[in-house]
Chain A
Amino acid sequence: MLLEVKGLSVKYGKIEALKDVSLSVKEGELTTLLGANGAGKTTLLKTISGLLKPFAGEIVYLGRRLDTLPTDAVVRAGISHCPEGRKVFPRQTVYENLKIGAYTRRDGEVEKDIEDFFAKFPRLGERRNQRAGHLSGGEQQMLVICRALMSRPKLLLLDEPSMGLAPFVVREVFALIQEIHRQGVTILLVEQNAKMALKVADKGYILEVGRVVAEDSARNLLASETVRKSYLGG
């Protein structure tokens, strides 16, 4: 296992947002985490990346305890978290956003990686010197995913990358996720769009008010009657 979450409990003051959550992510796989609003999906990702500290339980990554590390050490260990809500740095240019994504890197290939992204997404390339705050929602989403990849992570945490985007942009985002997966990056994908997520995923977890209520292969979850009823719209 690349990542193992064991008996995790996270509190905001007195509110327990995660209760005894266990989950594991296998190297090379795309694991998806589904659940309604307020289920605790974002809380779980934030705890993995060290933005939140757990109240109980542990997170083990490559055999090392992760839950005691500060966020910058988590990134250096090879985990990149692309947060929900397209958090570009609006005052910095598209180029500067990508560059800061490589903050932890010491190798000489940062510029090359940036050019590769610009070649792949010409709309970003054309706007390389524009402020990221001026991009459209879809362009911002592509930018933050590329920015998260700039640290060359082993494990990518994606929080609702399709939220609030037009259907054709959602397809583009999912195509990118699949491509990243094919290139060997392990992915933990949080989504509300359960159908699309399960179609590209290897494995899925379902979270309900802070608890894991189902865990299975993506194929079985897609076929399951209960999942179909509550998450796939009948």
Chain B
Amino acid sequence: MFLQYVINGLSIGSVYALIAIGYNMVYGILELLNFAHGDVYAVGCFVTLALIGLKQHVVVAILGGMMAGFTINLIVERFAYRPVRFSGRVTPTISAVGIAYIMRNIIMKIWGPETYPFNIGIKASYFTVGKVVFGTLQIYILLIAVALMIFISLLLKRTKMGQAVVSISQSIPTAALMGIPVNRVIAMVYGVGAALGVVGGVLFCAYYESIFLGIGFMLGTMKAWMSSIVGGIGSLKGAVMGALILGLTESFVSGYVSTVYRDAYVWGVFILFVLIKPQGLFPAQISEKV
């Protein structure tokens, strides 16, 4: 059974990783707890749902959802975050909470509070290797998540834009002195973060075969936040490792302890972890910030 829990934990953990990457990068750059992250990508997931409903190909539907998330965050960054970027820590956080409410109300207005079936057309077939059961969907989720994470880390390491993001996350004024158009790059990080969040959210909904209003905050922002705290705020590596650990913990708790009280136990583990290692597993990032 152990191996089965590992597989389950890694596949849900990699979904959390996609959700956490955008969240953690924004935190790394702006030290902003982006409380709107989940609700912004939730809108993108509902757009994907709508496009699937309109008989679009699933790839088109997901790309459409990503575009929606990307565009929303470009607008939100410009009008809700940029004007308050240097107004301390509280104001931008309040701004983010406001955006989260607006997004939730948009979903409420259009789709209401009900739960919809969510199906991205991958047949949930299963096969077994030894005693371990693999779902095809699980394999897809794992592959897509891993591919996107490799893609993002290559983007950060190897492209000019990616290196600009890495520089900005260390010092905004010094990055500006390199000639980097800081505002434009930060807006891009928001946009790409939301688009990745949409992929994570869509895979999450596909995993549970349903979608509802709550995927944004409870299952998105909170998990992204927990992953980032565990992994270490501000880095790609921290987001991914924290998310995988979160996924594994959830899987082990439901497997060995209790399914019903899973979240309570996971929170217990989380709080214990924060008490022991408050900076997370990869804490170097922020302390080196100039």
| A149 CB to nearest B CB, Å | 12
Contact A92 B174 (CB under 8 A): no
Interface presence of A186 (CB below 8 A)? no
* Contact among B160, B177, B180, B182 with A81 in the assembled complex (CB-CB below 8 Å): B177
For B161, give the chain A residue with the smallest CB separation: A103
Contact B170 A91 (CB under 8 A): yes
Bound-state Cα–Cα, A103 to B193, Å: 23
Bound-state Cα–Cα, A116 to B191, Å: 38
Residues in B neighbouring A100, C-beta threshold 8 A? 163-164, 167, 175, 178, 180
Interface presence of B181 (CB below 8 A)? yes
Segment of A30-38, A59-67, A71-79 in the binding face: A71-79
* Contact among B166, B174, B179, B182 with A87 in the assembled complex (CB-CB below 8 Å): B174
Contact A89 B177 (CB under 8 A): no
Interface presence of A57 (CB below 8 A)? no
Interface size bracket, B side: 20 to 34
Interface presence of A138 (CB below 8 A)? no
Residues in B neighbouring A51, C-beta threshold 8 A? 173, 176-177
Residues in B neighbouring A99, C-beta threshold 8 A? 163
Contact A151 B178 (CB under 8 A): yes
Bound-state Cα–Cα, A51 to B172, Å: 10
* Residues of chain A at the chain B interface (Cβ within 8 Å): 49-51, 70-72, 75-76, 80-83, 87, 89-92, 96, 99-101, 103-104, 133, 147-148, 151
* Residues of chain B at the chain A interface (Cβ within 8 Å): 160, 163-164, 166-167, 170-171, 173-183, 284-285, 288, 290
6 smallest beta-carbon distances between A and B, as pairs: A75-B179, A104-B179, A71-B176, A87-B174, A72-B181, A103-B179
